Structure 1
Amino acid sequence: MTQPQKGICAEPNLHCLYLLYNVVDDDVASMRQKLVHILDVFETFDDEHYEAMVSGVVGIGGAFWDELYPHARPANLSSFPDMQCDDRCAPVLPCDLFIQIRADRLDICQAIGIEVSKLLKLHTELVEQVQAFRYLDGRDWTGFVLADDNPRGRQKFDISLVNKDDAYFEGGSYIHIQRYRHDMDKWSHLSEKNQQLVMGKTKQHNMDVLGSGLDSHAFRTKLVGPKGEFPILLNQSMPYGDMTTQGLYFVSCSSHPNAFKNYLFSRIYGDGNGHYDKLLDYSNAETGAVFFAPSITFMRANVNIAQNESEGVS
């Protein structure tokens, strides 16, 4: 039975550490082994600190995938979608590896991050590290509830994990990330009423705002898939920030990359009649990347193949 990575469908946590790496050497056999070792680190910390609800994700970028696993490639793994309309854009930050570490204890996130960095130190360069956290009762810096329409229960797995249509990669997930920076000064000058019109939701109770229009964030992100599925992706985003910068680290998991492409298109281009996501007037993406998080079953099976190859075993 295929075992997905635990962090794909894990319940929300209080803290998260995002790590992005580029691989700088050609020792791919060692990289396969060390990525599996990272899975072991996640499991060890989860066993030893069960109260922290530890989970993790290892994602592999399309440019590095063929070096790491040259014998097979996820059917729909491609580059990050290049979209721009007026001053709204989705910039790309090319990366080979994405590591997501989540827990209900900040110290545990940091300890795991240090272990991961030690494992990868000789083979990679760190591109970015971002510490994120739950803000208030699951809200963004804007004051509005995050990911209120996320799938739940069994639907969470159906939406976020590859199924038997790509059987070799069943249990994997297409992951898209974007780091958004909010213009909180500009946002704070809006009245609460106008903020609610931008979001399409009430701030206090997260109710739909009547008359918010076709350019509200709620409308532009409420999409239906080709088979009538809703929502179309699992939103694992969390706020990040300090005294000078506040933003949202957007992470989506889906069974097919078209889910995110359609989501992003609706926000940036809208309906072609000027109805785009008005939240983008107050929040700009600064990075963007796509990864595939293979199942634990796939990663463990293929590290053994790598060992056999290095020993000359057919």
Structure 2
Amino acid sequence: MSDDIPEPQAVCHPITRSAIFLVATVGPEKDHADTVRSWCGDVAALVRAIGTRAPVANLSCVVGFGSDVCERLFGAPRPASLHPFKEVRADDRHAVSTPGDILMHIRADHMDLCFELASQIMEKLDGAVTVVDEVHGFRYFDLRDMVGFVDCTENPSGRAAESFTSVGSEDADFEGGSYVIVQKYLHDLKAWNALPVEKQELIIGRKKLSDVELDASVKPSSSHSSLTTIEEDGKEVKILRHNMVFGRPGSAEFGTYFIGYARTPKPIEQMMDNMFIGRPPGNYDRILDYSRAVTGSLFFVPSAELLDDLADREPSAGK
């Protein structure tokens, strides 16, 4: 990033071995909002204090805020592209919208660090928020998702990752920020694993073992990789995924936690339209015959500098 653009939060940090995803709502009282604003100034210090116990474990925490609570907490102006999560429904396929005022994306190579940071965060926020979703994720073998295919293959890296995820001068008050969409998917693994590998590969659009993309002559236009490729003005628009798997084998729960960062929600929303409705309509993503979304929320991730400053920002402040 250039010197005059605020430093982003840890959006572009490498994918770690463990993660905890916390989605919470803020209580209705003024002191609830006050507690959250005060906490914003504590996050970086908490990460540093716990992270020094294992400096090479890459502990981080990205914090985002939902549309419904943004102005209540911090006043105007608001991020230009922040709005409630857009539900998508087509036949029995449904990208649901679920409550969420705050997202905490906690990452490290050791789950004990994630757990400790999550515990310290919740102690700071005790009584002010209600956790509505908590997922403990882990990296599955060589970055594979729960259905057995390598995930996050098309992630941009380096400066490209920053350019695709960081808000620029188009929204000057929020430069260095990002948008993030999260969805929790549950999979019918029994039905999926009953499919021949060749059929699975046509649904995903890649070879299962090698992760090599199928040739265009055989890859269906309804494949997951086809429908999640977005172009504008002839150029591909990337998003940054930090997906994790989760599950409880004893309860036959097998899932993938989708988390996608972008400079604007538009490309992720277009991907969801393509997957659930189809491109063209009816040509939907066949992975949805075996997977269903049970959560869905959109958040704005302020820059690291702005997150720290939010502790002193009053709801009446702004332009």
Distance across 1 between alignment mates of 2:234 and 2:169: 19
Could you say what secondary structure the match of 2:21 adopts?
Answer: strand
Deviation at residue 166 of structure 1 after TM alignment: 0.5
Stretch of structure 1 that moved more, 271-280 or 213-222: 271-280
2:278 maps to a residue whose letter is: G
Query: What amino acid sits opposite 1:153 in the alignment?
Result: G
Which of 3, 6, 9 is equivalent to 1:5?
A: 9
Aligned to 1:15: 18
Identical columns (%): 30
Task: Give the corresponding residue for 2:151.
Answer: 146
Structure 1 regions of 5+ residues with no counterpart?
A: 310-314
- What is the Cα deviation at residue 32 of structure 1? 0.8
CA distance in 2, matches of 1:198, 1:302: 44
Letter in 2 for 1:26: K
Which residue number in structure 1 is paired with residue 226 of structure 2? 219
Which residue does 1:44 correspond to in 2?
49
**1: distance between equivalents of 2:49 and 2:85?**
33
3-state SS of 1:107 partner: helix
What stretches of structure 2 of length at least 5 have no aligned partner? none
The aligned residue for residue 252 of structure 1 is 260
Q: How many residues are paired up?
A: 307
- Cα distance in 1 for residues equivalent to 2:167 and 2:71: 19
Question: Partner of 2:30: helix, strand, or coil?
Answer: coil
Contact 1:149–1:231 (CA under 8 A) maintained in structure 2: no
Q: Identify the residue that residue 30 of structure 2 maps to in structure 1.
A: 26
Match of 1:127 in 2: 132
Whichever residue aligns with residue 12 of structure 2, its letter is: C
The CA deviation string for residues 232-275 of structure 1, in whole angstroms up to 9 with x for no partner, is 31111111112121110000111111111111111111123531
Task: Choose from 213, 233, 239 the match for 1:233.
Answer: 239
2: distance between equivalents of 1:200 and 1:128?
Answer: 31
Rate the CA distance shift 1:165–1:136 in 2: closer, same or farther, 3 A.
Answer: same
Q: What is the CA–CA distance in structure 2 between the aligned matches of 1:271 and 1:230, rounded to whole Å?
A: 16
Offset, 1:304: 2.9
Kept in 2, the 8 Å contact 1:60–1:293? The answer is yes
Which one is further off, 60-69 or 271-280?
Answer: 271-280
Alignment of 1:66-77 (within 5 A): 66-77=71-82
2:187 aligned with 1:179: no
Q: Deviations over 1:52-86 (max 9, x none)?
A: 11111111110000101112200110111121111
Cα distance per residue 1:104-135 (max 9 Å; x no partner): 00111100010011011120111111100000
In structure 1, what is the Cα distance between the partners aligned to 2:281 and 2:312? 54
- 1:252–1:118 Cα change, 3 Å: same
Q: 2:108 aligns with which of 103, 109, 115?
A: 103
Query: What TM-score does the superposition give when structure 2 sets the normalisation length?
Result: 0.92
Deviating beyond 6 angstroms after TM superposition, the runs of 4 or more aligned structure 1 residues are none
Mean Cα displacement is larger for which, 42-51 or 52-61?
A: 42-51
Cα distance, 1:183 vs structure 2: 0.5
Tell me the amino acid that sits aligned with residue 292 of structure 2: N
Displacement of 1:202 in angstroms is 0.4
Alpha-carbon distance change, 77 to 212 in structure 1, aligned in 2, over 3 angstroms: same
Is 1:275 matched up with 2:280?
no
Contact 2:39 2:124 in 1 (8 A): yes
Among 196, 210, 213, the residue aligned to 2:201: 196
8 Å Cα contact 2:106/2:114 also seen in 1: yes
Question: In structure 2, the residue corresponding to 1:48 is in which secondary structure?
Answer: coil
Output the CA distance in 2 between the equivalents of 1:212 and 1:229: 20
1:312 is matched with: none
Q: What is the aligned partner in structure 2 of residue 156 from structure 1?
A: 161
Q: Partner residue of 1:294?
A: 302
- Per mean C-alpha deviation after superposition, the further-off stretch among 176-185 and 296-305 is 296-305
Show CA shifts across 1:118-160 (max 9, x none).
0111201111111000001000111100010110110000111
Letter in 2 for 1:212: K
Compared with structure 1, are the counterparts of its residues 199 and 64 closer, same or farther at alpha carbon in structure 2 (3 Å cutoff)? Answer: same
1:93 is aligned, of 76, 94, 98, to 98
Residue 228 of structure 1, CA deviation:
4.3
